[in-house]
Amino acid sequence: MNPNALVQCVPNFSEGRRPEVIEAIAGAIAAQGVRVLSVSADADHNRCVITFVGEPGAVAQAAIRGAEVAMRLIDLNQHRGNHPRMGAVDVIPFVPISGCDMADCVALARRVGEALGNMGLPVFLYEEAATRPDRRNLADVRRGEFEGLREQIGVDPAKKPDFGPEKIHPTAGCTAVGARMPLIAFNVNLGTSDLSIAKKIAKAVRGSSGGLVHCKALGIPLADRGQVQVSMNMVNYKETPLHRAFELIKLEAERYGVPVVGSEIVGLVPVDALVGVARHYLRLEGFKSDQVLEKRLVE
Amino acid sequence: MNPNALVQCVPNFSEGRRPEVIEAIAGAIAAQGVRVLSVSADADHNRCVITFVGEPGAVAQAAIRGAEVAMRLIDLNQHRGNHPRMGAVDVIPFVPISGCDMADCVALARRVGEALGNMGLPVFLYEEAATRPDRRNLADVRRGEFEGLREQIGVDPAKKPDFGPEKIHPTAGCTAVGARMPLIAFNVNLGTSDLSIAKKIAKAVRGSSGGLVHCKALGIPLADRGQVQVSMNMVNYKETPLHRAFELIKLEAERYGVPVVGSEIVGLVPVDALVGVARHYLRLEGFKSDQVLEKRLVE
């Protein structure tokens, strides 16, 4: 893989209450030369999510070091929380941001999965890294959680790990490692208060009901604005770009005589997703995303 | 100024033939912790252009250190070349890229101009940093070049420097220091071979003949494609954004029954210029450019 590529990693750890544990994990990750973008802990879930970005080698090392600390400090036998979980380091997704593709992140997931396996954790590859169709969906992999999987691993052939021992780790459980595209929260606001129109358009545009494959959509009210919104998760902006969802919504809204009054992107977006929008509307030929000045600075 | 801001600096030095001199200047610049994006020398012009980017303090230091080396190693009395010049370090523009604005870069130009003045160089502030209207245009400031200005500085009140001695430096001449917006080379291709149409549209869209203020445009033939092009320099993408020029060209082209078949951006473009395009076409509300993931990494 291009050593200048940028990969994002968003591991979830089963600790949301002891700040010293969360800090120890985040510190081990940051020490590997990656940029930690956010550390978000939830006491009810008893879980924390650490988002970091860096070049592939550093990101892999950071994921492994973070997992090591979590294995040492978290005991699933003592863990209670509202969020389903099966391991001290519960899930590690790798996300291609720039200069790399999904195949690169799948390779990274395998490499890190193997390392965690060698550390004594049963590892299941999931989503784009899955080795069997019934492991694509994380919820399926995690079904039964720590307590259930403890009985099944080593017994049920469907629960044979991709890496590591065929026996759950007595305190750290087991881990899902995978690869997925970045998720973009993209909402489009309609100039009507008629929620049924937003719901009909959401249905038209989302993949689950015949629309764009990598688009999840719901119609919701924006009561304070007297408007409604098609609220979307764009889960693969390369194959289903933002502008295509936007134009499709505009087209459907027209049929109801309703204007599209605005849109919003919530949270972070990879620059390539916006380059794609500019490339489409300006009809750009031959534009390479490394022509973006700021991209020269993160190499 | 925001210490995490990004400023670009594009100093021109009067040396295009001695690689060891160019390397010494570029080395002094790179040693200040900025990112050198390109070093471009031309033997006929006997001139080199160094493009670098970094946080404001480092960029100011790099410009000063580069000027110091140029003063020491370049003697204008020995310098011959096709390009007009008046100093060893001939011109230093500061360009706001992100997290800062023109006022910040004007302040930076004054700060660096004062430092160069203290080093014995007469300094003229130009473009957005100019202190009088007849110094906005660099060509006006440089008129007479080294040999002419040697006679005028200290004699002609119009040639009183903004900083430094009222006497030209005997070997290093004098220097223009200023601030400007980044320039974006943006070309739009038309589906016709009729050059007169490209010329008419260029005239309609450019500021000099009544069009968009910060747009320079020419109609040129693309013989190998059997097409013509409106070739533009967008000199202030904030006030005259790319999409406005593009849509105006589309509108004018329609009047001749000619399609816009594509466009191109030549060279580098600040991410904010593309964010502006996406914001316009997607009707984005409240989008901040620090939501671009890669921008978090260059802070």
Give the pLDDT confidence of B49-60 residue by residue, as tens digits: 999 999 999 999
Q: What is the mean pLDDT of chain A?
A: 95
pLDDT given at position B289:
86
CB of B148 within 8 Å of any CB in chain A? no
pLDDT band of residue A297 (cuts 50, 70, 90) is confident
Which of B246, B261, B293 lies nearest to residue A282, judging by beta carbons? B246
Per-residue pLDDT tens over the stretch A68-119: 999 999 999 999 999 999 999 999 999 999 889 999 999 999 999 999 999 9
Instruction: Tell me the shortest Cα–Cα distance from B168 to chain A, in angstroms.
Output: 36
Domain boundaries, chain A: 6-179, 184-297
The sign of the dihedral angle between the CA atoms of A158, A162, A167, A170 is negative
**pLDDT greater at residue A85 or residue B290:** A85
CA distance B152 to B290: 48
Give me the total of CB pairs closer than 8 Å, taking one residue from chain A and one from chain B: 136
CA atoms B118, B121, B122, B123: torsion sign: negative
Chain B partners of A294 at a C-beta cutoff of 8 Å?
6, 97-98, 270-271, 292, 294-295, 298
ipTM surpassing 0.90: no
Active-site residue, A79 included: no
* Mean pLDDT of the region B225-249: 96
Distance, in Å, from the CA atom of B46 to the CA atom of A149, rounded to the nearest integer, reads 73
Judged against a pLDDT cut of 90, whether residue B297 lies above it is answered with no
Q: What CATH number does domain B6-179 carry, 3.90.79.10, 3.30.990.10, 3.30.830.10, 2.60.40.1840?
A: 3.30.990.10
A182: closest chain B residue by CA: B293
Interval B104-125 mean pLDDT: 98
Nearest C-alpha neighbor of A42 from the set A17, A74, A69: A17
Across chain B, mean pLDDT equals 95
Q: Is CATH 3.30.70.670 what the domain over B184-297 is classified as, yes or no?
A: yes
Res. B91: pLDDT tops 60: yes
Instruction: Please report the pLDDT score of residue B299 as a whole number.
Output: 56
Which chain B residue lies closest to A248 (C-alpha atoms)?
A: B282
Q: Which residues of B are part of the catalytic machinery?
A: 83
Measured between beta carbons, which residues in chain B are less than 8 angstroms from residue A189? Answer: 285
Q: Where are the beta strands (DSSP E) in A18-152?
A: 35-42, 47-54, 89-98, 123-127
CA distance A229 to chain B (A): 13
Question: Nearest-CA distance from A121 to chain B in Å?
Answer: 32
**Nearest-by-Cβ selection for B263 from A265, A282, A296:** A282
Confidence of residue B295 (pLDDT cuts 50, 70, 90): confident
| SS3 of residue A284 by DSSP | strand
- What is the dihedral angle through the alpha carbons of B255, B260, B265, B269, rounded to the nearest 10 degrees? 60
